[in-house]
Amino acid sequence: MRVVIGSDHAGFDLKETIKALLERLGVPYEDVGADSTSSSDYPDFADAAARAILAGRADRGILVCGTGIGMVIAANKIRGIRAALAWNEATARLGRAHNDANIMTLGGRTTPRGDVEGILRAFLTTEYEGGRHDGRLAKITRLERKDT
């Protein structure tokens, strides 16, 4: 499994924590920024991470902004990306199992540091269940292709 990780300034500290966890777990990753807590724009990093997944450089992505909300909105604008905002292990697991999420977003200002490892492990180890969820994902794919 290869992971791409990115954050804006508000998620930078949590991103660095997650990178250390990935290293400890032996999970290779690509960091697409931000490189500091200087003000930056989350859509830039959501786009970079999504492109890494779509190009096949990564299997899954982790994005962090202040709340995770901006990142999940931005990432889900990109065809082929299914981003899920996780706030605990259960939502990380369900995002993978039911929605085949290929990106997880977290809030740098809202995620308790003691919960991060469990959330990360749930996202990285849970497989998509398929079955009854396949039809729903097919409908999402059709929505991506609609002209509005």
Instruction: Let me know if 122 is a catalytic residue.
Output: no
Query: What is the Cα–Cα distance from 141 to 53, expressed in whole angstroms?
Result: 17
Residue among 52, 53, 64, 65 flagged as catalytic: 65
What is the rounded radius of gyration, in angstroms, for the C-alpha atoms of the chain?
A: 14
Instruction: Let me know if 65 is a catalytic residue.
Output: yes
Residue among 4, 32, 98, 100 flagged as catalytic: 98
Instruction: Tell me the C-alpha to C-alpha distance, in Å, between residue 48 and each of 2, 90, 101, 126, 134.
Output: 15, 27, 17, 24, 27
Instruction: Tell me the C-alpha to C-alpha distance, in Å, between residue 75 and each of 50, 70, 110, 112, 141.
Output: 7, 9, 19, 23, 15
Q: Which of 83, 81, 79, 77 is nearest to 63 (CA)?
A: 83
Catalytic positions are 65, 98
